[in-house]
Amino acid sequence: MGNDGLFPCPSFLLLFLFIYEMKPTSPFPTPSALEHYPNQPQRLHFLSFLLIYHYLIYDVVYPDTLQLSYIRELLDTVNMFFRQNNAPQRYRKAPEIVSTESQWINSKALTMKDLRGKTVLLDFWTYSCVNCLRTLPALKQMWKKYRNRDVVIIGVHTPEFEFEKDIANVRFAVKKHRIKYPVLNDPERINWERYGDTYWPRAELINSEWELVFEHVGDQAMMKLTGVLLKS
């Protein structure tokens, strides 16, 4: 018969304290104690080593102990985390663009149906934002290079101030900055909220399956993205 004591193998104490980060919260580690491990690959690998080591000891020396069943359960959980981490990355679906025909400049109203099969870059901007204006040269270069190659840029104009909501002012800014790609004036920030945006400018890159593959805030990120695409 096996030993039913909590720590029949002295080194099991190390495993116990490692899982609980030296702060035990229950009599024995359970899978729920590992909920923060998937985002800590190094700790996950070390834990896997500890579990396998103790599994071998308990399987030979203490085969009938309750601890062995706990170790099996913990190993199953760790293996599940490894499978999740090694699985192909899945992107979330991009929300549909909500608009009316009168809100568009340089284009008819565009929808997901119109854009499926193309790569789409959404540039959330507003014309009085200095950082937004810094991205325009790179965006215009990319539009010039890719406009006939299934790449679409849409400037989603999302006003910060009341005067920016007026589409006449937006049209003036588009003409002033010689923007030729489609611009959607979104005075009520409907699409901004659908995409969960909070800062200007923000890049949202959508693949041909209408999945979000890149999201970033700031003019440097936008210029880096457009720079990479321009070199390709």
The residues spanned by each domain of the chain are: 12-86, 101-231
User: How do residues 120-176 score in pLDDT, each as one tens digit?
Assistant: 999 999 999 998 999 899 899 889 988 888 889 999 999 999 999 999 999 999 999
As a whole number, mean pLDDT of residues 13-19 equals 49
Angle between helices 219-231 and 130-146 (to 10 degrees): 10
67-81, 106-120, 192-206: least confident range: 67-81
Query: For residue 176, what pLDDT is reported?
Result: 97
**For residue 14, is pLDDT > 70?**
no
Query: For residue 116, what pLDDT is reported?
Result: 87
* Average pLDDT value over all residues in the chain: 77
Query: For residue 142, what pLDDT is reported?
Result: 87
**For residue 57, is pLDDT > 70?**
no
Residues 200, 129 contacting (CB under 8 angstroms): yes
86-100, 159-173, 177-191: least confident range: 86-100
Whole-number Å distance between alpha carbons of 193 and 58: 54
19-23, 30-34, 125-129, 198-202: least confident range: 19-23
Query: For residue 217, what pLDDT is reported?
Result: 76
Whole-number Å distance between alpha carbons of 71 and 47: 11
Rounded-to-5 percentages of helix, strand, coil across the chain: 50, 15, 40
Query: For residue 100, what pLDDT is reported?
Result: 93
Query: For residue 85, what pLDDT is reported?
Result: 61
As a whole number, mean pLDDT of residues 25-43 equals 53
CATH of 101-231, picked from 3.30.465.10, 3.30.70.270, 1.10.10.60, 3.40.30.10, is 3.40.30.10
**For residue 8, is pLDDT > 50?**
no
Query: For residue 27, what pLDDT is reported?
Result: 43
Whole-number Å distance between alpha carbons of 11 and 219: 53
Task: Write down the residue that tokens 């965006």 correspond to.
Answer: 139
Query: For residue 68, what pLDDT is reported?
Result: 67
